[in-house]
Structure 1
Amino acid sequence: MVMRPPVPPFTRASAIEKVRIAEDAWNSRDPARVALAYTPDSQWRNRAEFITGRSEIEAFLTRKWTREIDYRLLKELWAFTDNRISVRFAYEFHDDSGTWFRAYGNENWEFDAEGLMRRRIASINEHPIAELSRKFLWPLGRRPDDHPGLSDFGF
């Protein structure tokens, strides 16, 4: 049995910690690392794509980060209950032609008793932005602790 603390039941502090851990993992852009946070049979809905299990998650993320270059993500807690967390997020990336995009969305997460995510439901919208409109300017990797968050940007 693998534990991925913090584990349910969540408090406000542990839910915020779980969100930041997820943000940090996704900003690593390491599909294998990210996939380990999910149960082996985890179920996802990502936009109109339905994904089941770690191998499909890893394949999806590999495709995603091949096409979404210089990806940087911010997540923020929206709500939580015993074993569920809801987040708002935004991320920026550019494609291989150099066009920048910002995506906004919401995710609903459900966790097992060990703190692994067994269900992820994501709704996402994106639009092109001018490179000068970018807000997420830290070096690739973990967002610095003093970098503004979603609410600071009014997103």
Structure 2
Amino acid sequence: MPRQIFITAIDQERLQKLINEAKEFNAGSKEYLKNLERELKRAHVVASEKIPHNVITMNSKVSLKDLDSAEKMIYTLVYPSDANLLENKISILAPVGTAILGFREGDVIEWEVPDGRVRLEVEKIIYQPEAAGDFDL
């Protein structure tokens, strides 16, 4: 059974709007949208003030470890318009972005990506907007 993931009500609302707009305006493959929508449907939605501080929310900066290669990476999870791989800002619509949303420190995430399957451990949440009191990011 999949792990329970958490998401703030604000993130859920913004992401559902993003999905709806993308479905309306983008032709082509919608697999990434289906994956994100599936994650949103199974998420436990809570108020921003009540989200646990060890949960990855939108605009969180996290340290991940690839369990197969032992490579460590730091990403900030952002909306598509803010994505910038040179700054390690990964879009929620990227496979890894969708995969990490709502998970906690210590969780292991297995996710299908174009090259196969990745196994990532959430090592540390370096910054979470809600923990820092930034509820409107």
Q: TM-score range by the shorter chain?
A: 0.3 to 0.5
TM superposition score normalised by structure 1:
0.30
Instruction: Looking at secondary structure, tell me which structure has more helix per residue.
Output: 2
TM superposition score normalised by structure 2:
0.32
Between structure 1 and structure 2, the one with the greater Rg is 1
Instruction: Looking at secondary structure, tell me which structure has more strand per residue.
Output: 1
